[in-house]
């Protein structure tokens, strides 16, 4: 099972690239650099992020289960799971918001829809940074040894 953490981190890296690209497109839309976002592309990117989340949750669960009692009493782990919960719940919310950006420029959206998109973007950033940062915090420098064998 020594392969699980590198696999977990590899899935994270690939998913982060997709999420950052999606965020880049969203930021261009927000700034008016893109009048619309291609709904099909955004759905495909959203599905890739979902696949990454599922992959990370599966590998995470396989690492968690053998040491569940220790993990459940470890505050940093519980904090990370809180951030993961934010990501998962927000992913459902983002999926419902995708059509908004496909038909109306951001500047012409209702204040309610602007707020929804901005809140979803903020929650996504908070979730990814929080989960990744918390994981690095509780792993310390062990993640370098685990990935590279040093």
Residue 100 main-chain phi, psi, to 5 deg:
-60, -45
Closest CA to 2 of 127, 148, 102: 148
pLDDT digits (tens, 9 = 90+) for 52-76: 999 999 999 999 999 999 999 988 8
- Helix, strand and coil content of the chain, in percent to the nearest 5, comes to 85, 0, 15
Q: What is the per-residue pLDDT for 76? A: 87
In the block, which residue shows the tokens 């590279």?
Answer: 148
CB atoms < 10 A from the CB of 71, how many? 18
Q: What is the per-residue pLDDT for 2? A: 81
Give the residue ranges of the chain where pLDDT is below 70: 1, 140-150
* Residue 83, both tokens: 């951030």
Q: What is the per-residue pLDDT for 137? A: 80
Q: What is the per-residue pLDDT for 143? A: 59
């Amino acid at each position: 099972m020594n392969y699980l953490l590198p696999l977990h981190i590899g899935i994270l890296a690939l998913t982060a690239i997709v999420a950052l690209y999606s965020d880049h497109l969203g930021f261009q839309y927000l700034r008016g650099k893109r009048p619309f976002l291609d709904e099909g592309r955004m759905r495909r990117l959203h599905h890739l992020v979902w696949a990454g989340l599922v992959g990370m949750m599966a590998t995470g669960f396989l690492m968690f289960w053998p040491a569940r009692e220790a993990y459940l009493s470890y505050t940093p782990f519980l904090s990370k799971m809180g951030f993961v919960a934010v990501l998962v719940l927000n992913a459902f919310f983002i999926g419902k918001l995708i059509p908004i950006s496909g038909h109306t420029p951001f500047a012409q959206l209702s204040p309610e829809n602007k707020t929804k998109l901005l809140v979803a973007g903020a929650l996504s950033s908070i979730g990814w940074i929080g989960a990744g940062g918390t994981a690095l915090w509780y792993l310390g420098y062990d993640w370098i040894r685990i990935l590279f064998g040093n």
